[in-house]
A and B are shown apart, each in its own frame.
Chain A
Amino acid sequence: MKFQLKHLVPLSIFLVLLGFLMVGLKLDPHEVPSPLINKPAPLFEQKLMTDANQTFSVEKMRGQVWLLNVWASWCTACRQEHPLLMRMSQEIGIPLVGLDYKDTDAEGMDVLTKFGNPYTSLVADVEGRVGIDYGVYGVPETYLIDKAGIIRYKQIGPITEEVLYTTLIPLIKGLQ
């Protein structure tokens, strides 16, 4: 049988398919790109969990680059992230605001007294309404917000060392 170009067709189809499958392996279907990137951070104002006489408001953060970390005491991945947050809050030099999502104040505070409080401000979202405005669908999630109040980056799932040093810190430096 003579060799013909068309005999390569099945092999090339197979290679294309293999390429698609290999790309597919690296995609995480749980990471849905947020439509809020490069949009203004939804405003909210809430009493601080640590001091009921003071409030936190997104509007008052204008002019600062800051991070919003959505977490909960019932969330195990947040517990994994916690030591890095403790270290990070010292290193990055920008406010790290904690939003205790669908949690009770008592249980949230209990975790922080046991393991340390990395947050510069801490607010509660007991009913998950702020979470809906920010498109939160799985905790932990972290938003990087710039001086004009625009969301620049969203980390879905725990922040890792790699994310911190290769993505977050360069982004923060660029925004300052």
Chain B
Amino acid sequence: MMKKIFSVIAFTCLLGLNANAQNIGNDPVIESRLKALSQELRCLVCQNQTLADSSAPLAEDLRREIRELIAKGMTDEEITAYLVARYGDFVRYRPPLKSQTAILWAGPMLLLFAGFGMLLITLRRRNALIANDKDTEE
């Protein structure tokens, strides 16, 4: 009896997997491009998820839209521009370098240099102190 139940469960699971696979993968080329693109794009409903990961209805619609745009022969850049025109740069996980995003890009470097600067000053002061101590000892 148990065996029968298990085999039924296993069979329905397999059916489910199969159905999913068929829905998504009509054209493997489109699907692989969709996957790569949607991992670079943000879902606006659940903002910390990519379009690829999100199951929000809007994300599903946008994936459908991207699929159609790929089928129309648009390049990845054109599709990204299409979405940016509608939702803004926020949809991109890699923000473009612009005057508005300059701090975002340069900030970490500036902080790093400031850190090095402070380290240098501190080391010099310490050296000077040690040198002073030696002078007074002698």
Do they bind each other?
Answer: yes
Q: Which residues of A contact B (CB under 8 A)?
A: 29-30, 32-36, 102, 127-129, 131-135, 137-138
Is the CB–CB distance between B44 and A137 below 8 Å? yes
Is the CB–CB distance between B88 and A33 below 8 Å? yes
Interface size class of B (residues with CB under 8 A): 10 to 19
| Contact A133:B86 (CB < 8 A) given known A30-B47, A138-B45 | yes
**Apart from A133-B86, A137-B87: 9 A-B pairs, beta carbons within 8 A:** A29-B47, A32-B90, A34-B87, A128-B61, A129-B65, A132-B65, A135-B86, A137-B45, A138-B44
Q: Is B62 part of the binding interface, using a Cβ–Cβ cutoff of 8 Å? A: yes
Q: State in angstroms the CA–CA spacing of A35 and B98 once bound together.
A: 15
Is the CB–CB distance between B61 and A137 below 8 Å? no
Q: Which residues of B contact A129 (CB under 8 A)?
A: 61, 65
| Contact A34:B88 (CB < 8 A) given known A132-B65, A137-B45, A138-B45 | yes
Residue of B nearest to A30 (CB): B47
A interface, over-half SS:
loop
Q: State in angstroms the CA–CA spacing of A131 and B58 once bound together.
A: 9
Is the CB–CB distance between B88 and A132 below 8 Å? no
Minimum C-beta distance from A74 to chain B (A): 10
